[in-house]
Structure 1
Amino acid sequence: MKKISGIEHRIRHADGSWRWYLLTLSPVYDAHGTIISFNGISLDINEKITTQSAIRMMFESIVGTTGIPSLLKIAENITSWLGADCVIVGEIQPDNQTVKALSMILDGREVKDFIYHFKGTPCEDVIKKGFCCYPDEAIRLFPDSRDLVELNIRAYVGVPLKNSRGEIIGFVCALFRNPIQIASYVQDFFSIIGVKAGSEIERFRIERELLENREILANAMNLTNLANWEVDITTGEFIFNDRFYSQCGTTAEQEGGYRMNNDRYIREFVHPDDQQLVTDVILTPATPSESPYVDFQWEHRIIRRDGEVRDILVRTRILKDSERNVIMIHGANQDITERKKAEEVLRRVNRQLNLLTSITRHDILNSLMAIYWFLDAIEHKFSDPVLLEYVMGMNMAAGEIQSQIEFTRVYEELGSHEPAWISLNAVMPYQSVPSHITLTADVTGIAIYADPMLDKVFFNLLDNSIRHGQRVTEIRVSTHESDDNLKVVWEDNGVGVSAAEKESIFLRGFGKHTGFGMFLVQEILSLTDITIQETGREGEGARFEILVPKGFWRK
């Protein structure tokens, strides 16, 4: 019989722990060649075996799996490696008081949805100290930990889990019902496994937040009837999705996939009357700009597969690289059919109201003409000074009525048309400037998105300078850019505006004339979020600053 070597086995010690040994046996022979005994050597290889097991466990925990399944693998491997009675990979909850086990093995079985309070437990020490090992008497050290007491846990090993910013987001811990002896390398292995588990929990959080954000976005897009799309720069094809096809009353299966060329989309989905508009927009190159992107929006009608016509608002963004080459085109289509219907109803109602007010205004003015005729007849027929004084008062009252009726005609037009891009130079009141006043306007090449009545803003500013400036001989109009906003300044060299009247001049009825001019100015500008204020000094001239926000002006 030959020598027997390499027998690995475990022996149970008096303290109840198991240790690995390597046994080598050599037979002892008598003179006749008969085996009469064995000489053996038993070598304690527990450190070697546990190290190999730890390396294998660490490798299996880190390689091959990701996400929540990898956390379960970590718990299973630690249980097998250390012989732990319970292993938990947990995530600290938003209340910063509890931990939810993302993976947990207890007595060899998986436990789901376990939550515990970590205050007063060894895990709280892990937050403060990092890696912690309590080889015995864990219950005595942490008497307030209900879970330790109920599970009769005597030993604990744990490490904190951190995210990429170094914040503690959870724990990996192993619990034992018997005392343990932990090798020095266990801390290093736990720390390595902790990095893996921490990155997986951070990945889980990011994915969870991404799903939540996608759901929020999907709900928002549903509420606003939005459908997104993009263009493949290399092929020029549209890339649609299920939401886009749903808006068009069709499916990807019905259309043969999520890609479609321009010609087919225009031919099959765009309303015939809008096909040229859509073609022009698609084929028109992006406007030259230093900006890395260009945004614009436009409207057209589509015909769904069921034949229904819908109104669509298209918002488009073109992204460019540093050399101004287009690298991406994407956008979103919003179904605005219901809004367009409501707008049409509102326009129809406004037309009826305008017709009514126009008729009423015409009748009132006709009645005023009759009053003027009777008052004029009285003035010519009677000479009684008291009576003539009454007639003069009635003429003044009738004049006020006529002035207000005329104002209603102007105010009725306010907001009745869509805002438009209007050249500033085109609305300067050059033709209305008296010969004794010089108007200098440095506004060439600038346009403002405003109500079509913008010309009345500057006509009324001129009227204000003439009527109230008293000694005005010069008016200057200039523009100044600041923080993406545009400031249009109208200033004269008249007597100016007193501090007490700076805010009041924009109130309806304030002033020495009709009291409607500056009120109308403010109302016209406010339709497109443009503001105006008087900033001049009394005695040095009036100065009106018109602030046009970003997006409402261009060169």
Structure 2
Amino acid sequence: MADVRIAAACLKLSKQMMGLAIDLGVMLNGLSAIAWTALADGRVDFVNRKWSEYTGLDITASSGTQWRNAISRDDLPEALEQFASILVSGQADEISARLRRHDGQYRWHTLQLSPMRDANGEIVRWCVLCIDIHDLRRAQDALKRRELDLQLIVESIPVPVTVTSPTGEVESLNQLTLDYFGKSFEELKAWRGNEVVHPEDLEAAVTGLEASLANGATYNVESRHRRADGIYRWTNVRGFPLRDRDGEILRWILLSIDIEDRKRAEITLAESERHLNETISTLPALIWTARPDGTGEFFNRYYLDYVGRTLEQVRDFAWTSTVHPDDLPGLIAAWTDIMASRMPGAAEARMQRYDGQYRWFLFRTSPLRDQHGNVVKWYGVNVDIDDRKRAEEELRRSEAFLAEGQALARMGNFSWHVDTNEIAWSEQLYHIFGIEPGTTMTLERIIAHCHPEDLCLITQFFEQGQRGDSDIECQHRLVMPDQSIKHLHLIAHRANDRPGRYEYIGTMLDISQRRSSEEALDKARSELLHVSRVMSLGALTASIAHEVNQPLAGIVTNASTCLRLLAAEPPNIEAAQETARRTIRDGHRAADVIARLRALFSKRGAAIEAVDLGHTAREVIALMQSDLDRARVTLRTEFADDVPLAGCDRVQVQQVIMNLLRNAADAMSNVNDRPRLMWVKTEAEPHGMVRLSVRDCGTGFDPENAERFFDAFYTTKDDGMGVGLAISRSIIESQGGRLWAELPANAPGAIFAFSIPVHSTSRVP
């Protein structure tokens, strides 16, 4: 019977020891003293924060046998031998050795090893407390190897420590305790009645201590203690029993840890959470929280009103009943993956509104972590994206229509960031260029596909973009892989991305078919023009012959009659005189025919009026723009603002300007090594004249032939008649002006200019 009682007592003590070991591990992590635990074989599996702060080694660098790196090499062999001996003996013991601090300094410590056993008495873990005994080394050396001066230990712990007897009587206090409370040892011995503990917390503190004394369990109570300055501060009192080898409690060690700041933070946090919950409930968004396992915990008022349910009806996993059945499996799978990753995530699904209608929502969630990185809660918000989903569907349809339209129109879009030269193309552009879709496009790759004769055009296009011109365009040719030629029309408009940066949005049109049609049309037009010129010349010749032939025939007849009358014997002077008068009459008739033909040729007389040469030139340019574009001519204008109005016939001057523009374009038809540039300029001249000049960059002319250009039927064109400039000079001179040709200084090409008097109403007095 006695043996049964002894066995039961041993079992009880073992259970108490096992519970003590578990709570001790928790307590050690909160201690300011260095402590760690090891498995039964001596491998370290836990170090408290003080160990990491002191040695600079975290649990990763201290686990297993790596804790030895913190032991002085001089002390390590003996320490390991003692450590092994303790493991073999299975009994609590201690080791003295120097520990390396994080700054490299070594200080003497006592490593107290205590075994923790399971219900069967088997050692499951060792608890090690490292006590700094550097300053007390001399005193410790005088003690026996396995003896420990408790008071020295207490003084070495950097928190207030109280040592009591097994019955709870105060036996000793470290100096920190006396300083903290500002009381003597005798005063603190009677702590139950001298307001050391706040009156509201005293009963709980006493009750908790008595319970620990009775059952030997770890003491852990939070209470307010009165500091030396009279202020009560929250303190966490943690007590654990110090036992002998037989398991009997020798003393109780009570650590008083100031948690005032933490307590205030908890109160503040609780208050903040209350305000946060109130705020969240009023926000017009579907907001929720979930536990670490994914079960719903909180749903704000807006969420509940939207689904038309109570908190109990959506709590835990009941919220899934509001998700569309077709979307639920995918949402659950996404939610599971997010929880496994412990990272923020999102998913889309349809939710049922209170009226039964389903709408698309974006489920967004993010984890709340504790100081160790563990997920303690999930916060989420459901955003209504039904309108966006519909818009995306419409956008997809629009993009499909746009792509189809671009394919039909042989057109593609692009964007070009000038500062980074980043280029984005639509799929149709890749087809136009014959390049694999998705290929990264660069300026060099685009230029490489251009026709060699058009490199100057595409280079000029990019230079205009780099200068920041508002609108840029050009027409150029592509050389395809099969050596076929494509004609492109490139148009771009600058959009300000942000200050100092330019982005161009543009379109490329495949105008190969149109260009072929235009070339065929031009050929037909040229042939028709040639036939028209031949027919016009024939008709003009026939008209002149018909109109002049009769008076000439009369003159010849009258002259013959006159000769015959004068040759008669005697001469018929009177009749001859009458015949001569008829001859003169027929001569006047011929002159009248010529005058009528000239009037017919000019169609009407000149009507002098006030004319703005710049505006008139713009009208002509607008009429000829398509012809200039076909000729790949780039036109630049310089119309002065202060030019007075000219006095001239506007229609006739437009004919002159049109002729000069056409001649300039023809002069550059064979220019392929540089841009085909043309300048039209107006300016005021001295002595009441207004000037308009047209300059090209063609091959120019021999200065000795400058005046021959204005001779009738002189031409340098293969298909020219040589009458355009002659007629133009006649028009200008008939209106008091002058038309001439000159060469530009240090530049290729030619300049044709005319000046006309200022209109009388525009003259300066």
| TM-score bucket of the superposed structures, by smaller chain | 0.3 to 0.5
What TM-score results when the alignment is normalised by the length of structure 2? Answer: 0.29
> Larger C-alpha radius of gyration, 1 or 2?
2
Q: Which has the higher contact order (CA 8 A, sep 6+)?
A: 1
What TM-score results when the alignment is normalised by the length of structure 1? 0.39
